[in-house]
Amino acid sequence: MKRLLALLATGASVVGLTVLAGPPAQAATGCSAEYTITSQWAGGFQAGVKVTNLGDPVSDWTLGFTMPDTGQKVVQGWNATWSQSGSAVTATGVDWNRTLATGASTDLGFVGSFTGSNPAPTSFSLNGVACTGSVTDPTDPPTDPPATGAPADVNGQLHVCGVHLCNQYDRPIQLRGMSTHGIQWFGSCYSDASLDALADDWKSDLLRVAMYVQEDGYETDPDGFTRQVNRLVDMAEARGMYALIDFHTLTPGDPNYNLDRAKTFFSSVAARNADKKNVIYEIANEPNGVSWAAVKNYAEQVIPVIRAADPDAVVIVGTRGWSSLGVSDGSNESEVVNNPVNAANIMYAFHFYAASHKDNYRATVSRAASQLPLFVSEFGTVSATGGGAVDRASSIAWLDLLDQLKISYANWTFSDADEGSAAFKPGTCNGSDFSSSAVLTESGALLKSRISTADNFPTS
């Protein structure tokens, strides 16, 4: 278990950077960087640097800066390769952010330690050039004021536009939320009290309802499990959250094994929930041991069943290799890009577990996000088994990347399972507290801190 940190909000220090990109006259317009201490505790802190390229495209960049206090050290970092020699710190771009197009940004971050004071770093440079750029551009248009109201009330009926999930105003948005564990095992975790906490204290945008098909799930009582799913959809709707209905196929890995069950289930829930604006359908959790062609065939038979009853809802299609876009099977996103599902208003699932899936998976997502609408409908902060220690650095690297790309996500799991991925300590679901540090695991504390930050839902 990770120690629970009391997060102390601090002010932000802003430093301008200049990029070495072509001749010196061009470098003067360079880029900007914003250094922010996002949390601090006794002897430690977490900081981020957002770098935005304001000039010509750059690649193979290295950011340098100086720690002004000799006791300040970088402990671990993400979204770059970090090193420190004395007070000098360098961060070098990695596969998915090594090239920055004009106007592109990348978010770097690190966990640090300190023994004396903790002032902001100085002497920033990029590719050896001193920092002289401007952080803000006075010609930038004003941003929308923060939207008020529950997520589903503000955004209304969602749809896919280009590679993004968009709201009723045709603006790209990112949903952030939690997934249930198997509702056949952890039903006590999904009560009025727990969902009140998820909506009000965690400020979650969505609840993913994981309905296992096998493993004592849907196949044992189709009518009963359909009722359970519909009840949770209603509970999410009442709290202004989106409900992601997950047909949780896992073993066997070929979704076609459950094709008839899928048609029956989705015909029922789509007809029953067609008038709701908060429902998203995930038709196959983690296809595995099967070709993309077989997954595509399944999707093209199930999606019309949903569309017959609910023509407007977003549908999420699982991908090969446990919804890894084929990476876990030695492939990549090209098989989906070159042979997409023949249907509109769909997204493709990507799943990861931060301790097991790192740079090559992040590189795939970074590439694929420019060509495919992606939805991270499940991820964990631990290993692919769902257990083990939280990999904080990799988890934050992933979350920063998803934020940057506006990719929506649901974390596994909003449960008190006795495993590292669970948000709650065992026994929590027998009580009424689902928010305090006393009941949160390391993973739960990290996810609550990320989800509960303000949403950015544009309305114009």
437 CB neighbour count, 10 Å cutoff: 11
CB 80 within 8 A of CB 393: no
CB 402 within 8 A of CB 12: no
Q: Determine the residue type at 294.
A: A
Enumerate domains of the chain plus CATH numbers: 12-130 (2.60.40.290), 151-451 (3.20.20.80)
**Which residues, other chains included, contact 247 with Cβ-Cβ below 8 Å and sequence gap of 6+?**
211, 213, 218, 258, 262, 265, 266, 281, 282, 283, 284, 285
% helix, strand, coil for the chain, step of 5: 30, 25, 45
Gap between the Cα atoms of 412 and 341, Å rounded: 26
**Which residues, other chains included, contact 206 with Cβ-Cβ below 8 Å and sequence gap of 6+?**
151, 175, 176, 177, 178, 236, 241, 242, 243, 244, 280, 408, 410
Gap between the Cα atoms of 48 and 32, Å rounded: 13
Gap between the Cα atoms of 424 and 433, Å rounded: 10
What pLDDT digit, counting tens, does each position of 403-444 carry?
989 999 999 999 999 999 999 999 999 999 999 999 999 999
**Any catalytic annotation for residue 378?**
yes
CB 245 within 8 A of CB 285: no
- The whole-number pLDDT of residue 110 equals 84
- The whole-number pLDDT of residue 39 equals 66
* Terminal CA-CA length for the chain: 44
What pLDDT digit, counting tens, does each position of 102-129 carry?
666 777 788 888 988 888 888 777 777 6
Percentage of the chain beyond pLDDT 90 is: 67
Which one from 282, 286, 333, 442 is the annotated catalytic residue? 286
CB 57 within 8 A of CB 163: no
CB 293 within 8 A of CB 340: no
- The whole-number pLDDT of residue 273 equals 98
Q: What is the pTM of this model?
A: 0.76
Residue scoring higher pLDDT (248 or 113): 248
Which one from 237, 333, 335, 378 is the annotated catalytic residue? 378
In the DSSP assignment, the letter for residue 364 is H
In the DSSP assignment, the letter for residue 404 is H
CA 80 to chain centre: 19
- The whole-number pLDDT of residue 22 equals 33
